[in-house]
Amino acid sequence: MLTPLTAMIRKDLLLYATDRRAVILTLIAPIVIAAFFGFIFSGGGASSTPAKIAIAIADEDGSAVSKAIVMGAQTDRNLHVDMLSAALAAEQVRKGAISVAVVIPKGFGEAAARAFFSAQNRPRLTFLYDPSHLGEMGMVSGILTQYVMESVSAEVFSGNDNSARIAEESIEASSLPLDQRDKLRDLIDAAQAFYSLPPLPGPEGTSADAHPARGIGMPYVVEEHAVTSGADVTYNGYAHAFAGMTIQFILIAAVDLGIGILTERQRGLWKRLRSAPVSRRLLLAGKTVSASLLGLFSLLVCFAFAMAVFGVRIHGSIAGFVLVAAASAFMAASFGILIAAIGRTPQAVRGVSMLAVLVMLMLGGAWMPSFMFPQWLQQLSFVIPTRWAIDGLEAMTWRGLDLVSALTSSAALAGFAVVFLGIALWRFRWEE
């Protein structure tokens, strides 16, 4: 039994070595495409600063408040601000040159100060956005909230004649009882008196940021920590890209495997194989093992390239990485056998199986990380084997998780493989 099995494996490896297209498909294509996606995911490099969101602000107000908002936005590290007219800003958004344009209408500063005391008659801050950049719209809105609150509150509490007038008019116009109006007036007077004081010198070595803002500032400072497997380990976008692309191409190779089996059957080769005293299980086992070995070889070569050139590292368990890679290759090979089992002809099965692969890749997070999916889709993706393969490879690389994590992914992948092979054995059309 061993001689036929090893012969079948050796023959398939030999055929692979003589097939230039197969070598390109399983080695060169995943490396090239993963390198491209890795470059994109890494923002042009692991250590580079994040790309700024290009926005435009149309300041039709020109008040102290609006100028302060503009200044805050211009100094924000996440934004690149151009000052344009409202019409020109809208045109730039339409053309896709910028993602978001903010129009600060005339009278915004005073209206915002009045609305500060009563929630009525709040002025509108108009956001014009590119619908294909919805995520950026949310980010810009959040960032500007901070600067609007700071600017408006700083104006309200500045104690100048204009702010005092606005405060008094707002209190008089309110529906508060007289005693409550007095208390509010006292509160504003006290705040204005406080903010009119010159800033205290801070302790030696501290910056001005250590002192209260001149308005209502954000009551916290964001401290960002990328959580990876260690303090000195940074996220490497190439790790995700290589995980996704290598899984993609071993699945495409699996489609080729299935089509190859059907072609061999069409060419009468399976008659010769089956006339030999070898069992059907052994024939399928030979194909599965050889395809698994080739898939594993492809995964290991691609990741070796990623390590050598793009600094991808296995921060988790090396044994776990090999285990997940082997289980992924086994799953892909079994998928190829399944294609051969349910397909009638190579021509008929090619389109359907490629569609299945594309859906698996899309839902499995090969093209974009699965955390970007809606919650229900994230849950659904756990029934897709590619999700386990990609998560498992990422867990062993930049996430730096342990062998137990690899065992979970590998067990899931092996489970899928067993199901695929079971269906294949059940449905395989042995009779030509």
Q: Which residues of this chain interact with other proteins, rule CB under 8 A?
A: 3-4, 6-8, 10-11, 14-15, 18-19, 267-269, 271-280, 282, 430-432
DSSP-assigned letters across all residues of 53-93: EEEEEEESS-SHHHHHHHHHHHH-TTEEEEE--HHHHHHHH
CB of 17 to other proteins, least distance (A): 9
114 vs 265, which CB is nearer to other proteins? 265
CB of 20 to other proteins, least distance (A): 10
52 vs 267, which CB is nearer to other proteins? 267
75 vs 279, which CB is nearer to other proteins? 279
- Give phi and psi for 81, each to the nearest 5: -110, 130
18 vs 48, which CB is nearer to other proteins? 18
CB of 322 to other proteins, least distance (A): 29
CB of 294 to other proteins, least distance (A): 15
* CA 55/CA 14 separation, integer angstroms: 57
Identify residue 244 by its one-letter amino acid code: G
11 vs 183, which CB is nearer to other proteins? 11
14 vs 418, which CB is nearer to other proteins? 14
Tokens of 71: 């200044």
* CB-based contacts of 309, cutoff 8 Å, min separation 6: 35
- Give phi and psi for 57, each to the nearest 5: -120, 130
CB of 79 to other proteins, least distance (A): 58
Strand partners, 104: 59
Provide the pairing of β-strand 53-59 with 126-129: unpaired
21-30 core/surface letters (b: 16 or more CB in 10 A; e: else): ebeebbbebb
CB of 260 to other proteins, least distance (A): 11
Sheet containing strand 79-83, edge to edge, reads 79-83, 53-59, 100-104, 126-129
